[in-house]
Amino acid sequence: MGKYLLIESRDPYEYGDPNYFYELARDLADRGNEVAFFLIQNGVFPARGGAKPDKIGELRQAAPRVRILADEFSLRERGISRDATAPGVEVTEIGALVDLLVEDGRKAVWH
Partner 1 sequence: MSDKTITLSLMDPPYDSETTTTALRIAEAALDKGISVNVFAYEGAVMLTMKAQQAHPNPVKGTTVEDQQHPTTSGFVGALFEKAAGDVQFQWINCGLCVDERGAADWIDGPKRGGPGDFYKWTQESTNTLVIGTR
20 scored as a contact of partner 1 (CB under 8 A):
no
Which residue stretch of 25-33, 44-52, 54-62, 89-97 sits at the interface with partner 1 (rule: CB under 8 A)?
89-97
Q: Say how far apart CA 76 and CA 43 lie, in whole Å.
A: 13
- Where helices occur in the chain by DSSP H, the ranges are 18-30, 55-62, 72-77, 94-101
9 scored as a contact of partner 1 (CB under 8 A):
yes
Q: Say how far apart CA 91 and CA 84 lie, in whole Å.
A: 11
Nearer to partner 1, 20 or 110 (CB): 110
62 scored as a contact of partner 1 (CB under 8 A):
no
| Residue 38 burial (CB count, 10 A) | 25
Q: Say how far apart CA 30 and CA 65 lie, in whole Å.
A: 9
Which of 11, 73, 88, 90 is close enough to bind partner 1 by CB under 8 A?
73
Beta bridge partners of 85: 48
Rounded to a whole number of angstroms, the minimum distance from the CB of residue 15 to partner 1 is 9
40 scored as a contact of partner 1 (CB under 8 A):
yes
Which residues contact partner 1 by CB under 8 A?
A: 7, 9, 40-42, 73, 93-95, 97-99, 101-102, 104, 106, 108, 110
